[in-house]
Amino acid sequence: MTYQEQLSIIKDIPIREGDSKVITCPFCYIEKKLSISKIDGQLKWYCFRASCSGRGIYSGRRSLSAAKGYLAGTVQTQAKFRRPMPSITTSIYNHPPAVEYLNQVNSMAAVEQGYIKVRYSPSEDRVLFYFGNGAVGRSLRAFGPKWVTFGEITAGVPVGDGETAVLVEDVPSACSVSRVPGLVGVALLGTALTNSIKKSLTKWSSVYLVLDKDASLKSVRCKVNHRSIKVRFTDTDLKHLTEKSIKRLLNQ
C-alpha cells in the first residue's frame, strides 16, 4: 500500500490534538498493533508487526489549539509510548520451547527461586520477564525484533538477593548472575546508565559493570560516571557463563 493510500485511511481515524493511542491496524487488521499520535498538528502512525508496511508521518496544518500552544510557546510534546501488556499469558511450563530457552540462558534457577516472574505470551510468541508495571519480552521466533518492552520499566530490572550489584545488558544475563550467592544482576535493558538506574544503585554496597571487550573507552567513561563502579570485560556473554566463571570474572 502506498503512502498516499495509507494517509487517506489514517486521516479518517478520529484522534484529538495531543493524543496517542494503539488501535487495530487498518492495514494488517491485527488488534492493538498500530500506534497513532497527533502532536502539534503532526500525524504519526506505526504498526508493530514486522511484516506490515503501515507507517508514516504527515505534517498537516495545526489545529486551533495547537496553533495557540505554538504561539504561546507551550507546544505539546509526545508522551513516551508504552506498549500495552499482553492480555493473555500462560505459564512457561505450558510451552516447552519457553522452558528450553530459559534453560539455555541459565535463567530457570532465578525463576524457581522466585527472583523474577516469567510467563509466556502465545500471541507474541515471547517469554515475558516482569518487573514493576511492565515486562520485557524475548521473541522465540527467528524473525522480527528480539526484545520488546511492555508497560513501563524505568530503572532497570534487578534479579537476585545480595549486597553486590552486577550491571548487565539484558534480563537473562541478570538471571544468570543471580545464581551466585550474594550477587544481584541488574539488567540495564540496553547499554545506557540512565539517571533512574544511577539512583537505584545506592541500595548496594558495591557495584560492577560488565562490558564486552570491544566496548570503546569513551563508552566506558560515559557509563561509569557514577561513584565507584568496578568495570570488568568479558569475551563470553554472561548468560552462558557458569557460576565459577562469573566469580572468576568479577575477582579479576
Structural domain total, the chain: 2
Q: pTM for this structure?
A: 0.66
The HSE-up count of residue 57 (CA atoms within 13 Å, CB side) is: 4
Query: Buried b vs exposed e over 75-85: b needs ≥16 C-beta within 10 Å?
Result: eeeeeeeebeb
Residues 138 and 172: beta-carbon distance below 8 Å: yes
Regarding whether 64 and 10 lie in a shared domain, the answer is yes
Question: Is residue 64 located within the same domain as residue 103?
Answer: no
Residue 145 lies in a domain: yes
For 243, the enclosing helix (H) or strand (E) is helix 243-250
Please choose, from the candidates 146, 152, 117, 121, the residue with its C-alpha nearest in 3D space to the C-alpha of residue 134: 152
What is the total residue count of the chain? 252
Does residue 11 sit in the same domain as residue 129?
no
Q: Is residue 81 part of a domain?
A: no
Q: Which of 72, 98, 124 is the last residue of a domain?
A: 72
Residues 242 and 133 in one domain: yes
Q: Does one domain contain both 133 and 237?
A: yes
Nine-digit cell at 139?
Answer: 521473541
Q: Is residue 78 a part of any domain in this protein?
A: no
Q: Are residues 62 and 96 in the same domain?
A: no
Q: How confident is the model at residue 226, as a pLDDT? A: 47
Chain Cα centroid distance, residue 178: 20
Residue 77 lies in a domain: no
Alpha carbons 26 and 8: distance in angstroms, whole number = 11
Task: Look up residue 212 and give its three cell numbers.
Answer: 564486552
Structural domain contains residue 27: yes
Question: Which among 18, 37, 72 is the end of a domain?
Answer: 72
What grid cell was written down for 184?
Answer: 544481584
Same domain, 65 and 108: no
User: Domain for residue 82, yes or no?
Assistant: no
Beta strands in the chain (DSSP E): 20-23, 34-39, 42-47, 55-59, 90-91, 117-121, 126-131, 133-139, 147-152, 157-160, 164-168, 183-187, 206-212, 229-234
Residues 43 and 158 in one domain: no
Assess whether 129 and 206 both reside in one domain: yes
Of 14, 38, 72, the last residue of a domain is 72
- Do 98 and 208 share a structural domain? yes
Claim to verify: residue 20 and residue 143 sit in the same structural domain: no
Q: Along the 252 residues of the chain, how does pLDDT read in single tens digits?
A: 788 889 988 988 888 887 888 888 888 888 888 889 888 778 899 888 878 888 999 986 555 554 455 445 544 444 455 778 888 999 999 999 999 999 999 999 999 999 999 999 998 899 999 998 889 999 998 887 888 888 888 778 999 999 999 999 899 999 999 999 999 999 988 656 677 777 778 888 899 988 776 554 444 444 554 457 888 888 888 999 999 999 999 987
Residue 33 belongs to domain spanning:
3-72
Q: Are residues 122 and 156 in the same domain?
A: yes
Domain assignment of residue 107, yes or no:
yes
Cβ–Cβ < 8 Å for 187, 152: no
Is-contact 154 196, C-beta < 8 A? yes
User: Does residue 85 fall inside a structural domain?
Assistant: no
DSSP codes joined into one string, 91-142 = EGGG-HHHHHHHHHTT-HHHHHTTSSEEEEETTTTEEEEEETEEEEEEE-SS
Helix (H) or strand (E) holding 195: helix 195-200
The sign of the dihedral angle between the CA atoms of 7, 44, 129, 244 is: positive
* Phi and psi torsions of 9, nearest 5°: -80, -45
Domain of residue 98, CATH code: 3.40.50
